[in-house]
């Protein structure tokens, strides 16, 4: 088994800035309410002509440039998304075409907001056995599936994409361990009811608003606050490290108030928690790679630093990655 490392990172967010007052108007909430509940102050929404693949390709180009590679060097492209361009084909196929990566196999992973970590787990195993380079992108355009009147969801989400280039050999940030968990008995907590084989998005479904993203906020918060600390501690133990060893914590950017509670429970005494949700909101599978890229470009990581990534989302799902910078 060959070690796999992150060789470069990249991100892209749309130009359009949407304020709390903008997004809260139809939901009858204001900036003060949104900030108090979520710590989110703004988010970016895609332009009408932009789809998930467009954002993903832009982030992919930035990651390739960071790694000093071209699309011709890629053997695999994975897009983690729960807002694909279309139900089929995979959004990754469009990204492959946009990048001109003609020799890369392309497929999608859907673990909702844990998707980037699940995609890392899938690709890390392939590269460890066969070598080569892979582009792993988390990308979502949630603005297209939000109910404007639902204050529980519409204020949370933004659009964006983040990417990592993985490879084998010397150099890069070494992936020390990855773990993924799913809890299908809780799948009802986060869902888009219509648009699949169980309930097609027919006229009746659309009239009932079943094409929109729905979330049981209390159930999700209970899952995160009760299970994430336990799963994180288990992951660190399995990775052979203790909380004092962690220098950086890069979580899924779900809700700033909730994350502060979780971070305190984790008791990582030396760790800096990195957040971008105040400016970008919850960008789904893109949130971890966007935040990792921003911290990396700001020079926050130093050689030897241990970086803990923690994703959680629909399914319910949770994923962890430990990286040595």
Under DSSP, the state recorded for 303 is T
Q: Based on the number of CB atoms within 10 Å of its own CB, is 211 exposed (0-12), middle (13-18) or buried (19 or more)? A: middle
Catalytic residue among 113, 181, 248, 274: 113
Q: How many CB atoms lie within 10 A of CB 184?
A: 9
Per-residue three-class SS string for 72-141: HHCCEEEEECCCCCCCCCCHHHHHHHHHCCCCCEEEEECCHHHHHHHHHHHHHHHHHHHCCEEEEEEEEE
C-alpha to C-alpha distances, 140 to 80, 190, 263, nearest whole angstrom? 8, 15, 25
The yes-or-no answer on residue 252 being catalytic is yes
Catalytic residue among 181, 248, 252, 274: 252
The yes-or-no answer on residue 147 being catalytic is no
The yes-or-no answer on residue 282 being catalytic is yes
Q: The tokens 């020079």 sit on which residue? A: 299
Chain center to CA of 146: 17
Residues 6 or more apart in contact with residue 108 via CB below 8 angstroms: 78, 79, 80, 81, 84, 90, 91, 92
Catalytic residue among 20, 110, 255, 282: 282
Q: Is 21 helix (H, G, I), strand (E, B) or coil?
A: helix
Q: Based on the number of CB atoms within 10 Å of its own CB, is 49 exposed (0-12), middle (13-18) or buried (19 or more)? A: exposed
What is the pairing mode between strands 16-19 and 42-45? antiparallel
Give the C-alpha separation, 262 to 260, whole Å.
5
Give the C-alpha separation, 315 to 184, whole Å.
6
Catalytic residue list: 113, 252, 282
């Amino acid at each position: 088994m060959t070690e796999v490392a992150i060789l470069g990172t990249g991100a892209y967010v749309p130009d359009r800035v949407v304020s709390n007052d903008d997004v809260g108007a139809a939901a009858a909430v204001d900036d003060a309410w949104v900030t108090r509940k979520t710590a989110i102050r703004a988010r970016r929404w895609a332009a009408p002509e932009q789809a998930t693949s467009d954002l993903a390709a832009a982030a992919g180009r930035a990651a390739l440039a960071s790694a000093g590679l071209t699309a011709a060097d890629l053997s695999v492209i994975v897009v983690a998304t729960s807002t694909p361009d279309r139900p089929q084909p995979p959004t990754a196929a469009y990204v492959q075409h946009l990048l001109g990566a003609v020799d890369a196999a392309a497929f999608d992973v859907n673990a909702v907001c844990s998707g980037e970590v699940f995609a890392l787990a899938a690709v890390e195993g392939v590269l460890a056995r066969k070598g080569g380079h892979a582009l792993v992108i988390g990308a979502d355009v949630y603005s297209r599936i939000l109910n404007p009147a639902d204050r529980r969801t519409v204020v949370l989400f933004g659009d964006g994409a983040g990417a990592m280039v993985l490879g084998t050999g010397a150099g890069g940030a070494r992936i020390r361990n990855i773990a993924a968990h799913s809890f299908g008995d809780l799948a009802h907590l986060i869902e888009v009811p219509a648009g699949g084989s169980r309930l097609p998005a027919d006229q009746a479904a659309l009239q009932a608003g079943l094409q929109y993203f729905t979330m049981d906020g209390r159930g999700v918060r209970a899952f995160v606050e009760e299970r994430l600390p336990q799963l994180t501690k288990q992951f660190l133990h399995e990775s052979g490290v203790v909380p004092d060893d962690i220098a950086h914590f890069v979580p899924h950017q779900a809700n700033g108030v909730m994350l502060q509670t979780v971070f305190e429970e984790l008791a990582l005494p030396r760790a800096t928690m990195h957040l971008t949700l105040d400016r970008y909101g919850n960008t789904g599978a893109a949130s971890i790679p966007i935040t990792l890229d921003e911290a990396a470009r700001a020079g926050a990581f130093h050689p030897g630093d241990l970086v803990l990534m923690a994703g959680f989302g629909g399914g319910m799902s949770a994923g962890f990655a430990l990286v040595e910078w």
